[in-house]
């Protein structure tokens, strides 16, 4: 529902409205819990590579890493599957690759949201082929209603409804990433 409304927003003069969904405090508290859970299972004697999936997870990644008490290496990659609107094009592309070798390393993929699972499935395949010692997935959000492919999720912040969300790193047309909370994007007809 949100999808079809969103996609017609550009052509007609619909008014964007963001309905609060997950408060900043709630996100921060859950992020601390995720950090503690990961820290409890990661090695103390070698740095774990934390992979930030740009662009959407930059804010979650930065906050999560503050709660990791084991040694870390930071690493960044970027994928693109959404071409500006609210629907995935289905084709996932790696637009920026890691600059470090993850062979024989412990690796955690930090993602903003698992929706259809296509992006995470692609990432897992790509990173697994580089032979890490271990590979974990930590996602802030999971939207199981739209699942197209099963992907293993080791740590999940919140399971959400079938809604299009923005804020806390997540965008609509590159906007709203700076919001400290997560909201549902609505497109209202003009009054």
Catalytic residues, which ones?
115
Q: Under rule CB under 6 A, how many of the chain's residues touch ligand 5GP?
A: 21
Choose which of 9, 31, 50, 56 interacts with ligand 5GP (CB under 6 A). 56
Residue 166 as a binder of ligand 5GP (CB under 6 A): the answer is yes
Residue 139 as a binder of ligand 5GP (CB under 6 A): the answer is no
Q: What is the dihedral angle through the alpha carbons of 57, 63, 64, 67, rounded to the nearest 10 degrees?
A: 170
Residue 22 as a binder of ligand 5GP (CB under 6 A): the answer is no
Q: Among the candidate windows 16-24, 97-105, 126-134, 164-172, which touches ligand 5GP by CB under 6 A?
A: 164-172
Residue 115 as a binder of ligand 5GP (CB under 6 A): the answer is yes
Choose which of 72, 74, 81, 126 interacts with ligand 5GP (CB under 6 A). 81
List the one residue out of 95, 99, 149 whose CA is nearest residue 124.
Answer: 149
Phi, psi of 20 (to 5 degrees): -55, 140
Nearer to ligand 5GP, 131 or 148 (CB): 148
For 58-98, the DSSP string reads: HHHHHHHHTT--S-EEEEEEEEEEE-SSSSEEEEEEEEE--
Residue holding tokens 């930090």? 110
What is the DSSP pairing of strand 134-142 with strand 165-166?
A: unpaired
Q: Which residues bind ligand 5GP (CB under 6 A)?
A: 56, 81-82, 88, 111-120, 143, 164-166, 170-172
């Amino acid at each position: 529902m949100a999808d079809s409304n969103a996609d017609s927003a550009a052509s007609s003069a619909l008014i964007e409205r963001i309905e609060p969904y997950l408060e900043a405090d709630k996100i921060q508290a859950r992020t601390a819990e995720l950090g503690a859970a990961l820290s409890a299972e990661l090695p103390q004697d070698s740095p774990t590579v934390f992979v930030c999936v740009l662009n959407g997870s930059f804010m979650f990644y930065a906050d999560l890493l503050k709660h990791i008490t084991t040694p870390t290496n930071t690493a960044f990659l970027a994928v693109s599957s959404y071409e500006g609107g609210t629907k995935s094009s289905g084709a996932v592309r790696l637009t920026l690759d890691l600059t470090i070798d993850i062979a024989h390393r412990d690796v955690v993929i930090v993602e903003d949201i698992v929706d259809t699972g296509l992006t995470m499935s692609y990432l897992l395949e790509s990173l697994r082929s580089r032979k890490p010692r271990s590979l974990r997935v930590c996602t802030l959000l999971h939207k199981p209603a739209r699942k197209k492919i099963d992907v293993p999720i080791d740590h999940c912040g919140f399971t959400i409804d079938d809604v299009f969300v923005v804020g806390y790193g997540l965008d609509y047309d590159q906007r709203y990433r700076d919001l400290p909370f997560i909201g549902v994007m609505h497109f209202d007809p003009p009054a």
